[in-house]
Amino acid sequence: MPGGRDWARTHRLATIGAVTTAAPLLRLATADDLPIIQALMVQTWHDLFEGLSREGKLSARYHTPPRLQDELDDPAQQLLVVELGGELVATATGRRTDAGVYEIERIYVRPSMQGQGLGALLLERILADCGDQPVRVELDARNHRAIEFYAEHGFVLVGERERGELPPKLVYVVMRRDPGAPGRA
């Protein structure tokens, strides 16, 4: 088989589109998952930001195997995946900070699987693991779906900031959820 096992798993990730009735399996990621996580992240990123000039360059810089391996190796990080029908269909990454706040770095769900509760499943796990810690997330201000998703789960807008090295800088909204906040958990 061309490219071996990793190629086959990545190829299946890109071509599966049918909804399955299997129960989702949420688990910690392993090193074997990293090529599939990378493909899922790139696919999701490009689906969301298609047509925006800088996004391909950003995706190539941030969605790399060494960066994912660093996340996996960092004891402060939590790299989660959701399997459905034996295929990885969603991933989330977060980390505990020295300031006592848990930061969600990303929740990505394969575009064809969005709206089926998989992002909520990942968020619920993160919130359960955080206990009484506040949770914070920064989102590209153009990502209205994600902003709405977090608002539905009890996150409130606490500010915005610009990020990036090149002008124009990207605007990010900062959202936070305190322990016991109303909203779906």
Task: Tell me the pLDDT band of 59, cut-offs 50, 70 and 90.
Answer: low
- As a whole number of angstroms, the distance between CA 94 and CA 58 comes to 19
Of residues 139 and 52, more confidence is placed in 139
Per-residue model confidence (pLDDT) at position 179: 87
- As a whole number of angstroms, the distance between CA 118 and CA 83 comes to 10
Per-residue model confidence (pLDDT) at position 4: 37
Asked whether the predicted pLDDT for residue 12 surpasses 60, the reply is no
Q: What is the mean pLDDT of the chain?
A: 81
Per-residue model confidence (pLDDT) at position 2: 37
Task: Tell me the pLDDT band of 50, cut-offs 50, 70 and 90.
Answer: low
pLDDT in tens, 146-183: 999 999 999 999 999 887 766 667 889 999 999 887 77
What are the structural domains, with CATH classification, of the chain?
4-177 (3.40.630.30)
Strands 25-28 and 77-84: antiparallel
Per-residue model confidence (pLDDT) at position 5: 39
Handedness of CA 140, 160, 158, 77 (dihedral sign): positive
pLDDT in tens, 90-132: 999 999 888 889 999 999 999 899 999 999 999 999 999 888 8
**In this structure, what DSSP letter does residue 24 have?**
P
